[in-house]
């Protein structure tokens, strides 16, 4: 395996003094494999501060963004794949271990029949609210008790696409670092600042936010296209898939808006609604 020096100018973790090791694993009962498999459970992710990223693209995105890798599991059947071998060598140089595994082990780790050729074990990273900053024309999105991992992953991906300054997960929400959520982000979880807070912590921070706070609400009387989003920083507050915003969060908004509809559907999917709001809020800043 050979590694090429990075030439794209992105952030890198400095190499450790002790390189990692390359090991071969063939049994799902291997203690290391068992530890990695346990990260499918939220409790173990919380205890260890680790999570899984499946797929070579996601692993490379995470490394390019400077996220700390602990272990890389690669498919023995993919031996000779140039980018995979470069990524494995890069992982070893960073001091993390590489496990060469058969498909049975990869299937057990990812819990699906056709796993990709690489799975990375990374250290979680969350951003304190105090470090989220937004200037004129910028947007931050807050999600109240989002429950679906696909919705959260899609919102993170969309927030990345519009150049949002951060995503705040409020209250009892799905874990942003579940395997399903990370998959749905398509790598954007490594690019968008992510905060996880209680409702009380969010409301305290909102009191210091200097900008426009817009919430979507079924009882909103303002067209979502009406606010002047580009005149100041904007905080978009999106409600739970079934219940919408809590009363406290709705009261914390400067304006409650609604997306007009003409069909028979009574509501939009959370990720779709958030995408509509994000692109409208950033419309003045986006160009081809």
pLDDT for 142-196, tens place per residue?
A: 999 999 999 999 999 999 999 999 999 999 999 999 999 999 999 999 999 999 9
Least confident residue range of 41-50, 78-87, 228-237: 78-87
Q: Which residues contact 155 (CB under 8 A, 6 or more apart)?
A: 141, 143, 146, 167, 238, 270, 271, 274, 275
Cβ of 281: how many Cβ atoms within 10 Å?
Answer: 25
Distance (Å, whole) CA 128 – CA 131: 6
CA atoms within 13 A on the CB side of 265: 7
pLDDT of residue 228: 95
CA distance 161 to 222: 26
Phi, psi of 91, rounded to the nearest 5 degrees: -65, -45
Name beta bridge partners: 256: 215
Nearest to 194 by CA among 156, 229, 228: 156
Taking a C-beta distance cutoff of 8 angstroms, is the pair 59, 120 a contact?
A: yes
pTM over 0.85: yes
pLDDT at residue 145, as a whole number? 96
Question: What's the pLDDT at 219?
Answer: 87
Say if residue 70's pLDDT is above 90. Answer: yes
């Amino acid at each position: 395996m050979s590694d090429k020096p990075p030439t794209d100018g992105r952030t890198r973790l400095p190499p450790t003094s002790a390189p990692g090791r390359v090991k071969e694993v063939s049994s799902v009962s291997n203690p290391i494999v068992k530890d990695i498999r346990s990260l499918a459970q939220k409790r173990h992710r919380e205890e260890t501060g680790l999570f899984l990223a499946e797929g070579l693209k996601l692993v490379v995105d995470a490394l390019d963004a400077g996220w700390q890798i602990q272990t890389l599991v690669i498919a023995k059947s993919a031996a000779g794949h140039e980018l995979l071998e470069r990524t494995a060598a890069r992982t070893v140089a960073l001091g993390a271990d590489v496990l060469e595994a058969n498909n049975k082990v990869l299937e057990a780790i990812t819990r699906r029949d056709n796993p990709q050729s690489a799975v990375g074990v990374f250290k979680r990273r969350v951003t304190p609210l105090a470090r989220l900053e937004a200037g004129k024309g910028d947007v931050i999105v807050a999600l109240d008790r989002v429950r679906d991992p696909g919705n959260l992953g899609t919102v993170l991906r969309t927030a990345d696409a519009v150049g949002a300054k951060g995503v705040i997960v409020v209250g009892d929400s799905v874990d942003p670092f579940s395997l399903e959520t990370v998959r749905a982000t398509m790598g954007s979880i490594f690019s968008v600042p992510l905060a996880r807070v209680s409702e009380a912590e969010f409301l305290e921070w909102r009191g210091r936010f200097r900008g426009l706070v817009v919430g979507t609400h079924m009882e909103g009387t303002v067209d979502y296209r009406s606010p002047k989003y580009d005149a100041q920083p904007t905080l978009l507050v999106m409600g739970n898939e079934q219940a919408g915003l809590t009363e406290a969060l709705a009261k914390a908004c400067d304006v409650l808006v609604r997306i007009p509809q003409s069909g028979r559907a009574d509501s939009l999917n959370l990720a779709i609604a958030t995408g509509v709001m994000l692109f409208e809020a950033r419309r003045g800043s986006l160009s081809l």
